[in-house]
Amino acid sequence: MLNNISVIGSGSWATALVKVFADSKIHVSWLVRGKEQADYINANRRNPRYLSYAEIDPDFVQPTTDLQTAIEGAQLIIFAMPSAYLKGTVESIDPVWLHNKQLAVSIKSFVPDTGYIPSLFVAKYFEWTDPVIVLSGPCHAEEIAMEKHTYLTIAGSDPQRIKEIGESLRAPYIQVVYNNDPSGVQYAAILKNIIGIATGIADGLHYGENFLAVLSSNAMREINAFLSEAYGAVRDLHDSAYFGDLLVTAYSGHSRNRTLGKLIGRGMQVTKALGSMKMVAEGYYASRELAAVTRQMGLSLPIINSIYRILHEHANPFHEFKLVEKLLR
Amino acid sequence: MLNNISVIGSGSWATALVKVFADSKIHVSWLVRGKEQADYINANRRNPRYLSYAEIDPDFVQPTTDLQTAIEGAQLIIFAMPSAYLKGTVESIDPVWLHNKQLAVSIKSFVPDTGYIPSLFVAKYFEWTDPVIVLSGPCHAEEIAMEKHTYLTIAGSDPQRIKEIGESLRAPYIQVVYNNDPSGVQYAAILKNIIGIATGIADGLHYGENFLAVLSSNAMREINAFLSEAYGAVRDLHDSAYFGDLLVTAYSGHSRNRTLGKLIGRGMQVTKALGSMKMVAEGYYASRELAAVTRQMGLSLPIINSIYRILHEHANPFHEFKLVEKLLR
């Protein structure tokens, strides 16, 4: 049984995870950025900066600003931060601290400049021989804050281990889905973030629902093509971690990636659109890393490639989408 | 080349089809309900009752109230009306009128009390040996009226014939997708209408996007299970006629089926909800016919079955969805 975990990260997704575990009566040691933030959480039962309407139960949550303190005593360490900070964080960890612990990641992008998905990066860095667990959606942090019925995917290669975590999650609004394809789940999440930018651009360009439906169904085909090529495991793409995760981004008002896309579709320069956002749209960075990966694989993914050109090669969204239109079916 | 067609039906979807063909410079003989409606269309370039903001080019559209007049001179007859009227309409047609013509259907439900999908019903009734063509989405009529970029599926077993129709469609906002699985496309459309009611109920019950994504991905699995069992043809469910058609209903503000579901989810009695709607929500009737078909097949489809119980057996939506929740993954 899981009694003590550590969440490393204090953005909105990390805050949602802290809430889920605390509401499951599991003690959470939570690494936050500064003492002021820790004090605020202790005093007000909520994170001042992100997802501030999520109620955090102080009986089960101990904020700390010290990495070693956050980790010691936890059975499971969950890395849940923007991908850009993962490398620096793991480099600050003395591997001795991790003795007898389990590791999990909940990050939807590549680790920058490595081409690695988070679980593989962490495993490689710590020369970890145990399977690294992956927590995934489809979930918006905002709806966890509101305690809306949510399915949380726990992916890992050891069925016993993911079951142990799953059975500990007793928050009444959470339902666990098990999955044995942790790499596929991470890649699908990366791809859907890029697709979320694509649907946002389409929306910004005033395409309608008829187009959006075809864009999304073709996107699913690209995700399928990529996963089959990269990770040929047997998987049912209708499992919620793949198709569901795409939908929760592609058709959402909560998605940052979709918001970024919409600004670009409306005509804002990419750098300005990025600058105007409070939170990180992971799809922007992921699309650059993914382009390198797909080039190496010799894969042609029209929508994904088009978003890469718009984000990183100054392509005109209007013209790109005129080209994409013709390639969809 | 297609120069003359006939559209039988004058609801919003029929109106959208008339517009698409007229904007492709194809002459349309259009069967409407009364002389007044025909005169209004001639005088005002639009259908007074449905989709009244769609501009209809009078140079290419000839409204008529006479069935034989509508049919004679047309190379292709398209039946596009609520399924409830199909039987009465075909019974009014003298088979001699159909000599040397092609038949198409664009109706998303079973023919009531027959268990037949429209293309098979028409083929059987007229002892038609030529393939009956199917026109399908994903399209909202409303977006065709607004000339939004739209993909129209033309499904049929004769590639040459569907290509001939497709190449005649030159309306600038229309892109044609060919499909060789006309029965599968019709069944998928029927199922997605029922799923549209399901997502509407979920919305009415205040479930969020996290749940909706999982509901929709499980729905796709049910559609897949049904189609594999009923029509084991090789098909790519990511083609827009399947997955795209589901999305355009499940996530739409335009869908009547979703609207019906939302009223029911909010607590309105089914009969009152039906009575309050101006247009037919085909999914209501289809769910009864489909229940008979799946019972015969011995198939268990949790979401589809649950919607059947809510619509036709007075089941409580709140309780049904609590049961459905647990069956999703």
pLDDT of residue A264: 98
Q: Residue A257 belongs to what H/E stretch? A: helix A256-265
pLDDT tens, residue by residue, B316-325: 999 999 999 9
pLDDT of residue A95: 97
Strand partners, B79: B8, B105
Return the closest-CA partner of residue A233 out of A186, A189, A192, A183: A183
**Looking at residue B131, what DSSP letter applies?**
P
pLDDT of residue A254: 87
pLDDT tens, residue by residue, B180-232: 999 999 999 999 999 999 999 999 999 999 999 999 999 999 999 999 998 87
Mean pLDDT by 10 residues, chain A (329 residues): 96 97 98 94 93 95 97 98 96 97 97 95 97 96 97 97 97 97 96 97 97 96 92 84 93 92 97 92 95 92 97 98 96
This complex has an ipTM of: 0.95
pLDDT of residue B254: 86
**CB nearest B151 (choices: A137, A214, A221):** A214
What pTM, to 2 d.p., does this model score?
0.95
A244 touches chain B (CB under 8 A): yes
Q: Which residue of B has its CA nearest to A252?
A: B209
**CB contact (8 A) between residue B151 and residue A328:** yes
B146 touches chain A (CB under 8 A): yes
Nearest C-alpha of chain B: how many angstroms from A16? 13
| Burial (CB count <10 Å: 0-12, 13-18, 19+), residue A65 | middle
Query: Hey, which residues 216-235 in chain B have their CB within 8 Å of chain A?
Result: 216-218, 220-221, 224
Interval B277-290 mean pLDDT: 92
Query: B45-54, B192-201, B229-238: which range is least confident on average?
Result: B229-238
**CB contact (8 A) between residue B211 and residue A243:** no
| Burial (CB count <10 Å: 0-12, 13-18, 19+), residue B328 | buried
d(CA B154, CA B136): 7
d(CA B263, CA B285): 17
Q: Which residue of A has its CA nearest to B223?
A: A238
pLDDT of residue B106: 98
SS3 B208: coil
**CB contact (8 A) between residue A148 and residue B216:** no
pLDDT of residue A159: 96
pLDDT of residue A280: 85
d(CA A165, CA A181): 16
pLDDT of residue B1: 85
pLDDT of residue A90: 98
Rounded to the nearest integer, the mean pLDDT of chain B is: 95
Dump the DSSP string for A76-138: EEEE-S-GGGHHHHHHTS-GGGGTT-EEEE---SPBTTTTB-HHHHHHHHTT--SPPEEEE-S
